[in-house]
Structure 1
């Protein structure tokens, strides 16, 4: 980054107190399918987490866990039924109509889509695509827009002449860089990146992850990365939140969560990711249910732990009440009835 760019971005992002999260989500529940005579299906249930300026929060979970819904709720694209969302101290929960349009036009929150090929208009040039967020209400003059576009391209490592190209003339990695440039051109406070590297090969994946890491530091961004791949978060996330079937089962500092998981589902994820460094020697085979309940396979009862149907350590208490989030150590929480003893039981069974 050039000195002039660094000065401009620093001025645009005043320091945020370390104790005050830039994004705060409290007791969030989202439900779809509400109709007369039919109960809505909750896809997120009582989720609480936060992200600070200059920090990367990784949200991990398998397909259907509610990861993307969480990000969409922050930008007003998912039906919130309970809870509260604040960004930079301002409540944005369930915004509709003019307040939602004003939030989007302000550029303070940006959403980075996972498929750059589908999210970039093939008929526009890169310059038009990157500058588009500046034309929908930020008050940026035409002359300033050209400079901001060049600055954004520079930030993501693309030459200024790329502004004249169209997406069809770019590689997959270059298209994702353009998508990232469009996301930061408004100098946002919060960036929500939905599976930002899932469509890329290994080389481009690493480049984009390193860019996200660099941008959060240089711009003071709070970045939330939605991913199903632990290996893509292991090197850059400061903290990790683990979702399973709409419930937050564990969160904490990334290294602690990856090397010493407190929830059996987190352990299953880490054991299934060979590239993730971990202290435990738990294998996926050890985490197979010993007494599976076929009737719970598709949907466990609402009054049970959401992971009880897959957990080899589940007891009657797990099948009779959902697990509430509890303190699991410094800056860690876990929602598991057996968090205190399941790893000891694994060790004892192996003897």
Structure 2
């Protein structure tokens, strides 16, 4: 997929197209994933945070996960690395059924670095007392890589993100700029040569210049290294330029997924249409702007507590297109690798109604 990073985010020469190594193995496969946190006093069913999520990511691909606060985006990433209480479904990373691993096997799986996590705030996630060289090399030390090889791979990883190991290797995080810290975090994530990188709001704390730089680096690294990347964001404009596919979460449900250009230009689910309507920067790109309906009806406020029928569409209480069946029947589940939405009345058949709908409120 040819990216549009320069057009949507910041004018820049297009990077040369590179193809990831061909493979039939999925870097990440999530099927029927459900996560529920136990109640504080341990009585009754726990609070469901994710319900029946199905996703796939292949090597060299970027999947963007979008949704409002409370949609379950970060919980999804935490579940993949074993930090959230999975109560149903299956998670496979590079062909390994993570849920089927015994305690020691899971520990070894984590130490191997096959999955890496890039946090939103590097100043809080990086040990303030360690030098850059030690921070980037720490995952290799945990994996048992010898010192000489660690030094070489640390220098290589820092070089890939545009940092000089000789100049910055001895500094601590407080001596770096915000953009440098996030690039150190990225170097630390790729130093183990992972199959999968989970980037949780990787640019939300950065200024425009550093934001664009980190996004371009993610795009380059997935092409050069063939690493699969899941980028979690609340900002569609950040995903529009680099993501091959987009998955849309709402209150723990996957409501739509498909190729980025198609989802943004012609959303199927009303929630996706309202999200794109509230992202004015997308209008800079004619390919995205062309058929995008519903600019007059963006979602306002955060997702309210669910008060409908348990079997109803999760968005029915906010949807300007909802009908009787939406309030009594779920909309189904989008299928990985396909262009699909969990909706009884897709926007493609209701564009005029959505354009005339009043502003959605909580």
Q: TM-score, normalised by structure 2?
A: 0.86
Is the CA contact 1:79–1:94 (under 8 Å) kept in the aligned structure 2? no
- Going from structure 1 to structure 2, the CA distance change for 1:284 and 1:297 (only over 3 Å counts) comes to farther
1:303 Cα deviation (Å)? 1.6
Take 2:209 and 2:356, find their aligned partners in 1: how far apart are those partners?
42
**What does the per-residue CA deviation read over 1:125-153, in whole Å, with 9 as the maximum and x for residues that have no partner?**
000000000111x2311111111110110
- Going from structure 1 to structure 2, the CA distance change for 1:287 and 1:131 (only over 3 Å counts) comes to closer
- Going from structure 1 to structure 2, the CA distance change for 1:303 and 1:124 (only over 3 Å counts) comes to same
Is the CA contact 2:64–2:243 (under 8 Å) kept in the aligned structure 1? yes
Equivalences for residues 155-174 of structure 1 within 5 A: 155-161=160-166, 162-174=168-180
Do residues 300 (structure 1) and 316 (structure 2) align?
no
Q: TM-score, normalised by structure 1?
A: 0.88
Take 1:224 and 1:286, find their aligned partners in 2: how far apart are those partners?
29
Number of residue pairs aligned between Structure 1 and Structure 2: 328
Structure 2 residues not aligned, in runs of 5+: 1-19, 283-287
Do residues 332 (structure 1) and 343 (structure 2) align?
no
1:326 Cα deviation (Å)? 5.4
Equivalences for residues 1-351 of structure 1 within 5 A: 15-17=21-23, 19-34=24-39, 36-93=42-99, 97-136=103-142, 138-161=143-166, 162-276=168-282, 277-286=288-297, 297-301=304-308, 302-325=310-333, 331-339=338-346, 341-346=349-354
1:284 Cα deviation (Å)? 4.8
Take 2:46 and 2:136, find their aligned partners in 1: how far apart are those partners?
38
Q: Which has the higher contact order (CA 8 A, sep 6+)?
A: 2
Superposed CA RMSD in Å reads: 2.2
Take 1:29 and 1:124, find their aligned partners in 2: how far apart are those partners?
37
1:285 Cα deviation (Å)? 3.5
Structure 1 residues not aligned, in runs of 5+: 1-13, 290-295
Single out whichever of 270-279 and 53-62 deviates more from structure 2.
270-279
